[in-house]
Amino acid sequence: MIENSIRRMPRPQDVLGMSTQELRDTFHIANLFVPGDITGHFTDLDRLVVGGVMPVDKPVDLPNHKETGRAYFLERRELGAINVGGAGRVVADGKTFALDKLDCVYLPIETKSVKFESVNPAEPAKFYYLSCPAHAVHPARMMTAAEATPVALGAQDSSNKRTIYKFIHQGGIQSCQLVMGLTALEPGNVWNSFPPHTHWRRTEIYFYFDLGDKVLAHFFGEPQESRHLFMHNDEVALSPNWSMHFGCGTSNYKFIWGMAGENQVFDDMDPAKPVDLR
């Protein structure tokens, strides 16, 4: 694993005096996909690890890391991965899961061996993954994008018409703590997760993709002390439990959302009124 960083989150009051570069060094992650390798970033957001795997002409193993404190990476962790590239395979303890683009796989604790593969090296798979601590075993399982639970939200006249696809959640793939899915905005729509919200019971991580060469402004911070990051394709924004998380792009796009914490209920949110934002 390419050891990129260990991200420590500041208190809300500490963010007030941070420079643009300090905000990016803390809340922004780029360069997730390295051909033929795996990247990983440990965070103190519910101990979530965020990373990417891009196998090319040979399988890439999920290695252990000293930060797990265990004999192997998933000894006390669970993992969810969504493929955002070409066709690929995930082989977990000898069981093979074939994932096309936007398909998801869940691996429980006590999974000892994990390999990521591309079907065609000329069109490599790109597995975006999240991992968090777990204490209960659930079956390893995959779900295609067609099988995911769709929820239509927003409207064309407010530029936020979008479809949410739930993969790892209470009504889908069962997990201990991890929740994971993706949101796709319709053409002509640019706002995501707006009106905004927070949720003290869990933290959240956004991974923006299918942006092409477009740019997106991701907003975060407390509702009365907002901050922003300019995002590009295949980049991550980290959101502590006290922070909002929403964005606006120069065109439509997709993003993968992932959470861990005390509550897996999807609509467990504390809304923030747009007129109160500062």
| Range(s) of the domain holding residue 116 | 2-276
Instruction: Give the model's confidence band at 26: pLDDT under 50 very low, under 70 low, under 90 confident, else very high.
Output: very high
Domain count for the chain, please give it.
1
CATH of the domain at 9: 2.60.120.10
Percent of the chain residues past pLDDT 70, beyond the cut = 96
pLDDT bucket at 1, cuts 50 / 70 / 90: low
Angle at CA of residue 85, ends 38 and 219, nearest 5°: 80
The encoded tokens of residue 140 equal 């390893």
Question: Which H helix or E strand runs over 23?
Answer: helix 20-27
78-96 burial, b for 16+ CB within 10 Å, e for fewer? bbbbbbbbbbbbbebeeee
pLDDT the model gives residue 199: 77
pLDDT at position 75 is: 97
pLDDT 10s digits, 241-250: 899 999 999 9
Cβ-in-10-Å burial (0-12, 13-18, 19+) of 168 comes to buried
Q: Which residues of 140-160 are buried (b: 16+ CB within 10 A; e: fewer)?
A: bbbbebeebeeeeebeeeebb
CA 101 from centroid of its chain's CA atoms? 15
